[in-house]
Chains A and B, each alone.
Chain A
Amino acid sequence: MSQVFHDIEKKIIASLKDNSKQTPETLEESTKLSPDQIRRGIEWLKLKDLAIVDESKKSVYSLGKNGIESLQKGLPERRLLDLLKDGPRNLSDLQKELGAVFGPAMGLSKKNNWIEAPSGQISLKNPPSEIPGEKILSQIGSGKVSERNIDKNDLLVLLKRPDFIIEDVIKTKEISLTDSAKSINLSESSGAIDVEAKVPEVFVARTHPLKDTIDEIREIFVTLGFSEIIGNITQSSFWNFDALFTPQDHPARELQDTFYLDGVMAKKIATPEQIRKVSASHKKNWRYYWDINEARKMVLRTHTTCVTIKHLAENKPDEARVFSLGRVFRNEKVSYKHLIEFNQIEGVVVGKNATLRDLMGIQREFYKRIGITKIKFWPTFFPYTEPSLQTMVYNERLGKWVELFGMGIFRPEVTKPLGITKPVLAWGGGIERIAMLKYDLDDVREFYNNNLSWLRSATKCQ
């Protein structure tokens, strides 16, 4: 036979050749292998039809508290019969002498007609020579005895009585070699090992799959000439909404869609000029009373656009490509398609010659680089961009078009009050949606479950 064996297998085979039937414990001793190695070795040999594993259950008995007492003093009923040997006795005297065991002793003796008790006086009637259970007590004695060596009927009598006998069920394994294994000549096998054998699994440490997607997207935009900016997650309503021409009475600003921080207001939200010009634009175009206290309310940002607009308002660049990437929040019911907290990328191009077609071109290039080539653009609406478009991408697995990034050119009502004079192309969208396409997930919650079986198995290079 040209089989190769693992060292573990070799040691087990050799030991079984010397001693044909063994338990894992005796194998441990003879081979000096660890319990785990023995377990694996036996498993491998079994798979190759070289070892037989006999599993059996065996009961082992020892005496309980009442059993030990009876071994020393005799069974309760024996003690009663002994007291009556010399003639009838008074019930209350017997009770005193036997104590707690008096009741069971009387009951048993009466039932078996060993005694009679006409009137407070108790006397022997048909005393037996041997009481059932007496033999087993001495057989078990102070040690442990397996069922093979004892009287079964006798055992049953005492097993029924409380705390006389303790039964332990022990599972045993006996390992022996099959006939083909017996003929293996271990000295013939070389130093080779079984390279075809299964090996244990190692769980590699790795970055989170969603982080991988985020990093990939970040890198794509950096190579397209964009610089990353980072901003706060908590924002004043001014930058999250007002600066983006979303009126204060707009439905999107309500509690049911936006997370407001309980009792937290921003003191300084923007420069006096910014506040004056933004509020004037609101009053003129939306015709309502603009309230600065509404703008002070702190929210969990609903988009990262607040970070880019703030950056543009501070730097007023003539030419720029920046993006921001991070967590955003919506007060929604969590479901397989909605999270209350997710990641968004949002970027802008500022330039005097920037066009809507350029914006579409950047999108197309981005999708191409993440492996999506079937895309189209549809018009849509955002309060702060005009014109506005959305990208639709074809999901092969679902067989339908799904909406991805939204985009547009910042409205003059947004840029003018903040002193931004050149056209600003803006786009953005959720990253989880892209990661879901990548990892073939139908439930977006999986990204935040930290389910180790998924984290340990998701393929890194997609």
Chain B
Amino acid sequence: MPVVELSYSRLQKLVGKVTKKQISDSLPFLGLDIESEDKDLVRIEYSPNRPDYSTDFGIALGLQGLLGIKTGAIKLNVKKSNKYSISIKFDVPKIRPFVTGIIAKNGKIDDKTIKQLMTMQEDLHFGIGRKRKKSSIGIHDLDEISFPLVYKTTNRNHKFIPLNSEKEISISEILKNTDVGKDYGAILGNSSKVPLILDANQQTVSFPPIINAAITTVTTKTKNLFVEVTGINKEDAEDMLSVVATVLQSAGFALESVKISGAKNSTPKLGEKKVPVSPELINQILGLNLNTSKIISALKKSRLDASTKGKDIICIVPSYRFDIFGPMDLVEEVALGYGIQNLEPTLSPSQTLGQTNPVSLQLKSLSQIMIGVGYLEALNSSLTSKRVLYDMTNRDTDKIISVLDSKSQEHTILRDSIFPGLLENLSRNIHEPYPQKLFETGTVFTLKNPISEKINFSGISAHQDANFTEIKSALQSALKTGFDIKIETKTATHPSFEEGHCASVIVDNNSIGMIGKVNSKIIENYKIRVPVVGFEISLSESILKSL
């Protein structure tokens, strides 16, 4: 979950008459988790579906609603203007065919505001922008740009001075040598033509989705902003724009429209949508009995507007709330406005009878029996390593199932056997008193259509007098008592066991596993100083009974 850092005093100013405690008590009920606090600073985790909560401006709007200071939907006041336009004429960037934008004037920009806008931009890029692939934003100093603008493509040898640089460099160099170029250049693929926004003086404004031009850098002296969003579809680009527009309006800017034209592009409407919801659904899902006026007041606390139309409630959803897909999302908005803390849990009688899965029951019984035989239950990861599974035990590695890009070297391969893990356990306990007897039941994996999952059962015994007879007795008794199954052992060889002390375990003429004295080389490799005997059998085929 993304995290945003805020200051309580700034939030108090933005929200209105409110104490610090009221804020910290209310944040969780907006779905915002306080991750840490340090005096005035607070770090807040927010949900990726609410990018408006990536700034204190957006969070303040939510708090105002929940605390009843200001309720109802936030209306965007966009002044229609003919001064600003972007056109796409002949040369549509195929990689990023859509552009949209807005003007924000007469705002006060201090360091903190710049920081908030930057985190919002980053979050939008990462979340709904899918790492800038779907859509990306550029925020510029309006007064450095001459309109009208064109959105077009250019060659990779086009040069301009990019953000945070002092000299002109080419697009190929930007992609090769700058961090953003390296991180996001792949979005442009191999195409020789890349997107570009140029102003009326042929000056580069932005090279989407990579970097802005240095000349339009926003500083604390900036008063007026131009925001552009480019993307692979119109709706997503406009969704992103609506979040920025809403946040900038709350930050005190006056919005003006930018005319967009050409090649399936058009001026963004940023309009609200109407979503009908029945009070019946709301009450049924929440288990409440609210009348329509209560429901409407709850929706308003969630910064939406609503009115009745016949039996239904028609909810007005501002454009930045694109997380609302349909009526069920409004049910949640009612719950939040009503207050989750006001929902009293109910315990309805069950209409069904519960049942433990027979496989779980049998495994539990087997555990109890093994404890009777004197074995302690161990638990190992099923995602383990080549070292434990194969190298230490001399086993064949022909059909390994590995995972991609594991962050831990000890966890890269799915186990096809439990026994190697138990051996590893012994090696980590050589200083503990003997005898040491362990068992484990669990899932093992093999490549088959595409993966076959079976339940195996393994036991191990280590002490001065450990021998084949002892381990065979243990397995024989466990299976006899647990499942009334009789086993036989037939001489066999296995790389993990000593020759002459190794057998396959036979049930009804089928081999279901191995038993024996562990190879002395393996014991030596593991620095275990006592003999070790053990077994591993498959329970899935002939032992466990399913429903």
Tell me the residues in window 440-459 of chain A with beta carbons closer than 8 Å to chain B beta carbons. 447-453, 455-456
A287 located at the interface, meaning its Cβ lies under 8 Å from any Cβ of chain B in the complex: yes
Interface residues of B in 467-497 (CB under 8 A from A): none
Residues of A within 8 A of B353 (CB): 225, 227
Measured between beta carbons, the chain A residues less than 8 angstroms from B40 are none
Interface SS majority for chain A? mixed
Establish whether residues B432 and A452, one from each chain, have CB atoms under 8 Å apart when the complex forms: yes
Contact B127–A355 (Cβ < 8 Å):
no
Residue of B whose beta carbon sits closest to that of A388: B332
**Among B33, B370, B380, B445, contact of A378 (Cβ-Cβ < 8 Å):** B33
Query: When the two chains form their complex, are residues A228 and B357 in contact, meaning their CB atoms are under 8 A apart?
Result: yes
Taking a contact as CB atoms under 8 Å apart, the answer to whether B31 and A386 are in contact is no
Q: Is A413 an interface residue (CB 8 A)?
A: yes
A386 touches B381 (CB 8 A): no
User: In the complex, what residues of B have CB within 8 A of residue A334's CB?
Assistant: 407-408, 410-411
Residue from B134, B288, B355, B451 within 8 A of A261 (CB atoms): B451
B368 to chain A, nearest CB (A): 8
Q: Quick check: A361 and B346 within 8 Å, CB to CB?
A: yes
Query: What's the Cα separation between A435 and B355 when bound, in Å?
Result: 23
Contact A451 B404 (CB under 8 A): no
Contact B405 A255 (CB under 8 A): yes
Known contacts being A355-B287, A387-B332, is A264 close to B383, with CB within 8 Å? no
Within 8 A of B (CB), among A177-205: 203, 205
A329→B414 CA distance, assembly (Å): 12
- Known interface pairs A249-B130, A423-B285. Does A364 touch B360 (Cβ–Cβ under 8 Å)? no
Report Cα–Cα, A423/B376, bound state, in Å. 44
A residues in contact with B432, CB < 8 Å: 452-453, 456
- Docked complex: B16-73 residues within 8 A CB-CB of A: 28-31, 33, 47-50
**Inter-subunit contact B351/A259 (CB<8 Å):** no
Establish whether residues B286 and A356, one from each chain, have CB atoms under 8 Å apart when the complex forms: yes
Q: Using known A-B contacts A205-B375, A211-B379, A450-B428, determine if residue A261 contacts B403 with beta carbons closer than 8 Å.
A: yes
Determine if A361 and B284 form an interchain contact, defined as CB atoms under 8 angstroms apart: no
C-alpha gap A198/B196 in the complex (Å): 85
Give A224-269 interface residues, CB cut-off 8 Å to B.
224-230, 232-234, 249, 251, 255-256, 259-262, 264-267
Chain B residues with CB under 8 A of A255 = 404-405
The answer to whether A355 touches B352, judged by C-beta atoms less than 8 angstroms apart, is no
* Stretch with Cβ within 8 A of A (4 or more), from B178-186, B290-298, B436-444, B509-517: B436-444
Interface residues of A in 371-409 (CB under 8 A from B): 376-381, 383, 386-389, 392, 403, 409
Say whether B343 faces chain A, with CB atoms less than 8 Å apart.
Answer: yes
Say yes or no: A360-B343 contact (C-beta < 8 A), given A226-B354, A261-B403: yes
- Which residue of the partner chain, among B336, B377, B437, contacts A211 with CB atoms under 8 Å? B377
Contact A260 B31 (CB under 8 A): no
Size bracket, chain B contacts: 35 or more
Contact check, A386 vs B407: say whether CB atoms are below 8 A apart.
Answer: no
At the interface, yes or no: A223 with Cβ under 8 Å from chain B? yes
Q: Which residues of A contact B428 (CB under 8 A)?
A: 449-451
- Assess whether B49 is in contact with A381, with CB atoms less than 8 Å apart: yes
Q: Does A164 contact B (CB under 8 A)?
A: no
Residue of B nearest to A226 (CB): B354
Instruction: Give complex CA distance A338, B379 in Å.
Output: 17
Cβ contacts B321-356/A at 8 Å (1 or 0 each): 000011011011001100011011111101111111
Per-residue CB proximity of B362-388 to A under 8 Å, as 1/0? 001001101111111111111100000
Interface: A436 (CB within 8 A): no
Query: B425 interface residue, CB < 8 Å from A?
Result: yes
Residues of A within 8 A of B345 (CB): 357, 360-361, 363-364, 377
Complex Cα spacing A355 to B325, Å: 20
**CB-based contact B377/A298 at 8 Å:** no
Contact B383 A259 (CB under 8 A): yes
On whether A351 and B351 interact (CB within 8 A), knowing A251-B126, A452-B429, the answer reads yes
Residue of B236, B378, B403, B449 near A450 (CB, 8 A) is B378
Instruction: Give CA–CA (A287, B240) in the complex, Å.
Output: 14
**CB nearest to A423 among chain B residues:** B285
Given the interface pairs A355-B284, A355-B286, the reply to whether A262 lies near B383 with Cβ below 8 Å is: no
B432 CB, nearest partner CB in chain A, Å = 4
Binds B, one of A17-25, A46-54, A319-327: A319-327
Distance from B442 Cβ to chain A, minimum over Cβ atoms (Å): 8
B169 within 8 A of A: no
With A211-B377, A423-B285 known as contacts, the answer to whether A450 contacts B438 (CB < 8 A) is yes
Q: Can you list 6 A-B contacts (CB < 8 A)?
A: A234-B450, A321-B354, A331-B403, A387-B332, A450-B428, A453-B432
The residues of B with any CB-CB pair to A shorter than 8 Å are: 28-31, 33, 47-50, 126-127, 130, 133-134, 233, 235-236, 284-288, 325-326, 328-329, 331-332, 335-336, 340-341, 343-348, 350-357, 359-360, 364, 367-368, 370-383, 401-408, 410-411, 414, 425, 428-429, 432-433, 436-438, 443, 445, 447, 449-451, 453
List of 9 A-B pairs having minimum Cβ-Cβ separation, nearest first: A225-B350, A355-B287, A381-B47, A357-B287, A387-B332, A360-B345, A222-B354, A228-B357, A361-B345
